[in-house]
Amino acid sequence: MTWMTRAGRFVALGGALALALPAASAATEPGVGPHGAARSGQTVLEARYDLGDLAFEAPSAIGYVGRSEVSGTVYYPADLTGERRPIVFVQHGSWATCADKEAGAAFKAAQEARDRAEEQGDEEEAARQQEIMERAGALLWAWPCAQGTERVPSDKGYDYLGRALAARGFVVVSMGTNGINATAGGQADTVYRARAALIEHHALLWQRLARTGGGPLGGALVSARTGERVGAAFRSALDLGRVGLMGHSMGGGGVMQEVSDTQRTSWPDGIRIKAAFALAPTSTWDNEPVTRTPFAVMWGTCDAVNSGEYYEWNSPDNQAPVFKYTLEGGNHAYYNRQWSPSTGQVMSRNDALPGSRPGSCLTQHAGSQPPTDQEQLSEAQQRRVTSNRVTAFFEYFLQGRKDRRPYLTGEKPFPGEPDVTTTLYDAGA
């Protein structure tokens, strides 16, 4: 069944402006979505694990060269008793890996100087500034980071989503992929398979923890608030038959690789991925079909990075429901708080092209030529529309909340949102 209105294959308009989520890692969350989840309001805790900067190596059959960390930030309900909880794995995209402030400042200054030189036709100066950028970039995209330099914690940039989902009864694991980011150059044909393999690696660790209360995570998982070990609390508390995936940018490509029709046959025994949500996903190397797993993609009209047209590629043949959300005035970085300018993190920025007037951005999607001005969404607005749909999506597909469906398809608007979101929906065969 296909829905149809304004934009072709369905539907509707919605958008994002409501109350921001509290930042405390162990606080009682209010009903953060306008759909008023009955389970929101649970106390949310945060934990972390780190098994080493070079603990992961992709299977040799993939052909990917490079090691990555096995670490993650975890958001979960304080009360894990009762029914087993679904689990959502989150994978961030490609960004700077090391928070070297001096290198970050040098990189940005050289980038601005290079752009000026190019505008003036000074090729020699442009080349000199490019060399400065490359030297600074080697420090910013190193792995492991130089001694005394902290990593950029991109895995923590989706904390607003982690807390919103945990308040609704999910366990959320946001994994680090800095090592893959640092080694991905020249490996476009294998990097998404390596990212998919990293997802499975984390899933197996959590499966063992849930079954036995032990394994590598048993002694490594510690409370962000107290520093105490909390691994034992997850024994018999998780349902690895109800797994969701969420990825951003290249992480979105990794997620879509993992749920591709061919990759499904390699899922570990006892682990079943029920749905995937990709934020501004980049495209996998060969665009393998994704027709059997429900998925949603979201992108912004002022996002110059997104290139994964997964809805268009798969909706003619999908056997499962698929969704596409287009945010008028949305950009690429704002989905991740660590990448956004309000945090002051090294290399954070507003990556939309500025429009002709303050507060506007230039459209970047292929269907808008020449580019036009649009009002840019604020960080809070873009995260609100994201939180609304991500939480409703996983509630529907992992918790069976049928009342979420009309919000996802656009039949019902999310209350309090401005008119900035277009929804495409196809129910599948």
Distances (CA, A) of 400 to 1, 78, 108: 20, 22, 47
What is the distance between the terminal CA atoms of the chain, rounded to a whole angstrom? Answer: 7
Q: What is the pLDDT of residue 31?
A: 34
Overall average pLDDT of the 252-261 stretch: 97
pLDDT digits (tens, 9 = 90+) for 281-317: 999 988 899 999 999 999 999 998 877 899 999 999 9
pLDDT digits (tens, 9 = 90+) for 110-138: 999 999 999 999 999 999 999 999 999 99
Overall average pLDDT of the 364-373 stretch: 82
Contacts made by residues 411-414, CB under 8 angstroms, sequence distance 24+: 411/3, 411/11, 411/12, 413/12, 413/13, 413/14, 414/14, 414/15, 414/16, 414/33, 414/34, 414/35, 414/385, 414/388, 414/389
Q: What is the pLDDT of residue 10?
A: 33
Q: What is the pLDDT of residue 78?
A: 97
Percent of the chain with pLDDT over 90: 85
Percent of the chain with pLDDT over 70: 90
13, pLDDT greater than 60: no
User: In this predicted model, which residue has the larger pLDDT, 366 or 30?
Assistant: 366
Q: What is the pLDDT of residue 174?
A: 98
pLDDT digits (tens, 9 = 90+) for 178-207: 999 999 999 999 999 999 999 999 999 999
Q: What is the pLDDT of residue 285?
A: 86
24, pLDDT greater than 70: no
25, pLDDT greater than 60: no
